[in-house]
């Protein structure tokens, strides 16, 4: 059992023992694999021997690579499903129609992913679709397929400068000295931002709104785990809120599963930026 391919699969099967009787495994994963994982504890050694014997026989016939590919796919599928099991709610009906392309597409995609971080993200979306079919869109699935570990990390880092109610301040990604200095301090590369736009996570066009603002009027902007409270220092009949880039629907569906982030550097930049707009940041 020293071969990496067989070890990966049998290890995944061993780890699945605790969740083998959960709805996701009992109604879906068992059928895909062709045997009940719940019986693994009782028949584990027998099944392991069958796996190894089949692999050795395949290698002798020059078909070992097909087995390696299958072992890797099944190991990834099981490991992702193990992660998803903890997000399945007890009230879930567990009825997944055959034409639910998002759910089945997620399962197929999970077979290709061995990164722990990507498996965790796919697991959360998979569980969400299992709990409430129709929650996620095909565009989310397609964009998810284009994300790797590095792209996911870059998207997560952008959380430092993301305000859920507004998006990303366009001027923060400008060429003025203050913005460039702030991006450099938090190691945020503008090319990564552009890549997220190209991947379909962030809208390509910025938006703004015009609103009347009264002196001493206060309003809140959600940020990280809290809010930023801002007070107007003067009357503004038609104040144009700074232009922002919003997340796409797929970007929002993926972003909600990533950790909320904050940056003291961005807060300081925002404080100085809004001051020039006639606003004071109170928190």
pLDDT digits (tens, 9 = 90+) for 33-72: 777 777 766 666 776 777 777 767 777 777 667 767 878 8
Say which DSSP state 22 is in.
S
Is pLDDT of 28 > 60?
yes
Confidence (pLDDT) at 42: 66
Is pLDDT of 12 > 50?
yes
Gap between the Cα atoms of 268 and 170, Å rounded? 16
Binned at pLDDT 50, 70 and 90, residue 1 comes out as very low
Residue with tokens 């692999």: 55
Q: At what angle do helices 101-110 and 64-85 cross, to 10 degrees?
A: 120
Average pLDDT, the chain: 87
Confidence (pLDDT) at 64: 63
Is pLDDT of 229 > 90?
yes
User: What mean pLDDT comes out for the span 202-217?
Assistant: 88
User: What mean pLDDT comes out for the span 71-98?
Assistant: 86
Binned at pLDDT 50, 70 and 90, residue 5 comes out as low
User: What mean pLDDT comes out for the span 148-158?
Assistant: 94
| Residue 47 near residue 82 (C-beta atoms within 8 A) | no
Confidence (pLDDT) at 128: 94
Gap between the Cα atoms of 89 and 24, Å rounded? 10
Confidence (pLDDT) at 32: 82
Confidence (pLDDT) at 133: 92
Whole-prediction pTM: 0.85
Highest-pLDDT range among 38-47, 78-87, 90-99: 78-87
Gap between the Cα atoms of 109 and 274, Å rounded? 43
Gap between the Cα atoms of 283 and 229, Å rounded? 5
Confidence (pLDDT) at 283: 83
């Amino acid at each position: 059992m020293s071969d990496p391919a067989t070890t990966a699969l049998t290890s995944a099967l061993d780890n699945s023992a605790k969740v083998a009787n959960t709805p996701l495994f009992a109604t879906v994963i068992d059928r895909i694999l062709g045997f009940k994982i719940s019986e693994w504890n009782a028949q584990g050694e027998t099944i392991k021997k069958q796996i190894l014997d089949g692999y050795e026989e395949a290698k002798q016939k020059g078909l070992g690579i097909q087995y390696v590919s299958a072992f890797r796919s099944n190991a990834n599928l099981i490991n992702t499903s193990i992660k998803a099991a903890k997000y399945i709610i007890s009230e879930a009906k567990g009825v997944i129609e055959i034409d639910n392309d998002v759910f089945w597409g997620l399962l197929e995609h999970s077979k290709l992913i061995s990164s722990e971080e990507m498996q965790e993200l796919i697991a959360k979306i998979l569980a969400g679709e299992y709990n409430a079919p129709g929650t996620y869109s095909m565009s989310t699935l397609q964009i998810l397929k284009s994300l790797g570990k590095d792209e996911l990390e870059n998207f997560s880092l952008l959380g430092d400068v993301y305000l859920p109610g507004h998006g990303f301040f366009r001027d923060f990604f400008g060429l003025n000295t203050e913005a460039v200095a702030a991006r450099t301090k938090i190691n945020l590369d503008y090319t990564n931002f552009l890549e997220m736009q190209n991947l379909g996570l962030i809208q390509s066009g910025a938006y703004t709104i015009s609103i009347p603002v009264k002196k001493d009027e206060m309003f809140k902007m959600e940020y990280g785990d809290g809010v930023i409270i801002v007070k107007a220092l003067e009357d503004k009949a038609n104040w144009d809120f700074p232009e922002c880039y919003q997340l796409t629907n797929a970007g929002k569906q993926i972003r909600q599963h990533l950790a909320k982030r904050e940056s003291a550097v961005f807060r300081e930049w925002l404080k100085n930026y809004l001051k020039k707009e006639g606003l004071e940041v109170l928190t």
